[in-house]
Homo-oligomer: A and B are copies of this chain.
Amino acid sequence: MAPKNVPITVAHGDGIGPEIMEATLHILKEAGAALDIETIEIGEKVYLAGNSAGIEPGAFDSLRRTKVFLKAPITTPQGGGYKSLNVTVRKTFGLYANVRPSVSYYPFIKTKHPTMNVVIVRENEEDVYGGIEYRQTDQVTQCLKLISRPGTERIVRYAFEYARRNNRKKVTCFTKDNIMKITDGLFHKIFTEIAARYPDIENEHWIVDIGAAKMSDTPEAFDVIVLPNLYGDVLSDVAAQIAGSVGLAGSANIGDSIAMFEAIHGSAPRRAGQNVANPSGLLLGAIMMLVHIGQTDAAERVHNAWLRTIEEGIHTYDIYVEGVSQQKVGTREFAAAVGQRIGQKPETLKAISYNADADSQSTGHSSTATAERANKETIGVDVYLDWTKGTPDELGAAMQQLNGDGLRLTAISNRGVKVYPGGHSETFCSDHWRCRFTADTDGGTTTHARIAALLARTAAAGFDFIKTENLCNFDGQPGYSHAQE
């Protein structure tokens, strides 16, 4: 029985976009993908018509209707005021997962890592990418790194669901939780919790520095890697580069409401209209889309026909190498060659199979069990000061005068190093001080009104407090780190 047509939204983009989209859609049709296509306009023309995001409000209606977006590369005009279309779509629809397979196709494409086949699943919304930053003193600037339980649960669950649907055997997690015990510790903890629900898939955790070194040298040791936003940003670029296939890589951005599929390369305006561009990156993005909407048979047919074309040496100019390639072809001829090979499998490269039984479009959010609310007790506050008037001991003596109402100064630190009481004379102190006040009695709690009153005393004493952070216990466990001594 033929599958029911699935509506998708398609944008042909700028530069080489229209050509590679045409090639991609030709191949999808040849493979029997069952799609109802809605076309929208995005990119350069829309920007220049005065829309700062490069996408018209009406186009959002199509995305909300189809929930699936196949997007060609676009050109963002030079000059100020234009916002990234991808950031706009990601923020608007909460696209929390960025999925980037990096595969080497040795001996048909040059690479130092012949057996590499890694998929990076990057958390896409949190970490330092909220862009929440403050300059606080003359000397010190701050960025907030946020890691949340629901944000982490859905990215980790997505990674395991992806592994299952794509017949992957292992999911690896990278964090730096030996240093960041609370934030990266939460990511690692949730990884362990969720991994336990997927006994058919191997799991492991590496500290990110050692893991990154291993991946850069021996990428064949990894299969799917799930990681927080910043590590994922850096390592997905490393993986694509060392695979030797930046021009051949597709990418998915997954949200609860919609998902977007594209090539990782740009619109290459100088190559536009010449029938030379390689449509493979967009095609591999489209294959991820077919798997996402449950059309795994069509995905398999396209993927294997493409692999067969690559290994027969039918190559566009960008991957053509004398002695390795057999025939240099244009965009349309490449698409025709892949279309003619629908139903064939590669002979040297490994044929692809997708798992039709896996839960298609499972995004991991709605069905994730979030823990019950913990019992939260506020037991103190860190008051940060901009201060340049003396030594740690002098500051300690002055701040102790502000004790009262059950709150007492217990320590001062500077850039994470404890300097009062009992610091080291060699410690370099910036103008950015943290004064920790805790409830007088062991195990006691304080109130928000008392914290506000402490700040009022701090202001009255003439101190420039620049920020506060409450100290809380959750179910009796401290929710704050101690200064390093």
Interface residues of A (CB under 8 A from B): 87, 91-94, 96, 112, 125-126, 128-151, 176, 179-184, 186, 208-210, 212-214, 216-217, 230-231, 233-238, 240-242, 255-257, 365, 370-371, 373-374, 376, 378, 386, 388, 415-417, 424, 426-428, 430, 432, 434, 447-449, 451-453, 455-456, 458-460, 463-472, 474, 479-481, 483-485
Assembly CA distance A129 to B177 (angstroms): 11
Which chain B positions have C-beta within 8 A of A136? 469-470, 472, 479
Contact A484 B146 (CB under 8 A): no
Assembly CA distance A135 to B186 (angstroms): 10
Measured between C-beta atoms, what is the minimum distance from A78 to chain B in Å?
Answer: 15
Assembly CA distance A432 to B472 (angstroms): 14
Contact B430 A150 (CB under 8 A): yes
Closest A-B pairs by Cβ, 6 of them: A130-B416, A135-B479, A448-B459, A213-B241, A133-B182, A452-B456
**A93 in complex: contacting residue of B87, B376, B378, B426, CB < 8 Å:** B426
Measured between C-beta atoms, what is the minimum distance from A234 to chain B in Å?
Answer: 5
Contact B238 A212 (CB under 8 A): yes
Of chain B, the residue at the smallest CB distance from A133 is: B182
Of chain B, the residue at the smallest CB distance from A186 is: B141
Q: Secondary structure at chain A's binding surface: helix, strand, loop or mixed?
A: mixed
**A237 in complex: contacting residue of B92, B210, B370, B463, CB < 8 Å:** B210
**A139 in complex: contacting residue of B87, B149, B179, CB < 8 Å:** B149
- Other than the given A209-B234, A448-B463, 7 more pairs (CB < 8 A) read A134-B470, A134-B472, A134-B481, A135-B480, A142-B146, A213-B240, A448-B459
**A426 in complex: contacting residue of B92, B138, B209, B240, CB < 8 Å:** B92
Assembly CA distance A469 to B213 (angstroms): 37
Assembly CA distance A213 to B264 (angstroms): 14
Contact B234 A133 (CB under 8 A): no
Contact A485 B133 (CB under 8 A): no
Contact A430 B151 (CB under 8 A): yes
Assembly CA distance A472 to B196 (angstroms): 47
Contact A212 B186 (CB under 8 A): no
**A256 in complex: contacting residue of B145, B428, B460, CB < 8 Å:** B428
16 residue pairs from A and B, CB less than 8 Å apart: A87-B484, A92-B427, A125-B415, A126-B415, A128-B179, A131-B181, A134-B471, A135-B480, A138-B371, A138-B373, A138-B374, A139-B370, A140-B148, A143-B144, A146-B415, A452-B459
Which chain B positions have C-beta within 8 A of A217? 112, 238, 241-242
**A132 in complex: contacting residue of B96, B255, B386, B416, CB < 8 Å:** B416
Contact A182 B135 (CB under 8 A): yes
Assembly CA distance A149 to B459 (angstroms): 26
Of chain B, the residue at the smallest CB distance from A256 is: B428
Assembly CA distance A315 to B485 (angstroms): 42
Assembly CA distance A255 to B417 (angstroms): 15
Of chain B, the residue at the smallest CB distance from A88 is: B485
Measured between C-beta atoms, what is the minimum distance from A154 to chain B in Å?
Answer: 9
Which chain B positions have C-beta within 8 A of A147? 140-143
Contact B133 A183 (CB under 8 A): yes
Contact B456 A456 (CB under 8 A): yes
**A145 in complex: contacting residue of B139, B144, B233, B479, CB < 8 Å:** B144
Contact A133 B480 (CB under 8 A): yes
Assembly CA distance A231 to B230 (angstroms): 10
Contact A469 B182 (CB under 8 A): no
Measured between C-beta atoms, what is the minimum distance from A95 to chain B in Å?
Answer: 10
Contact status of A376 and B386, CB under 8 A, knowing A180-B133, A182-B135, A474-B135: yes
Of chain B, the residue at the smallest CB distance from A474 is: B135
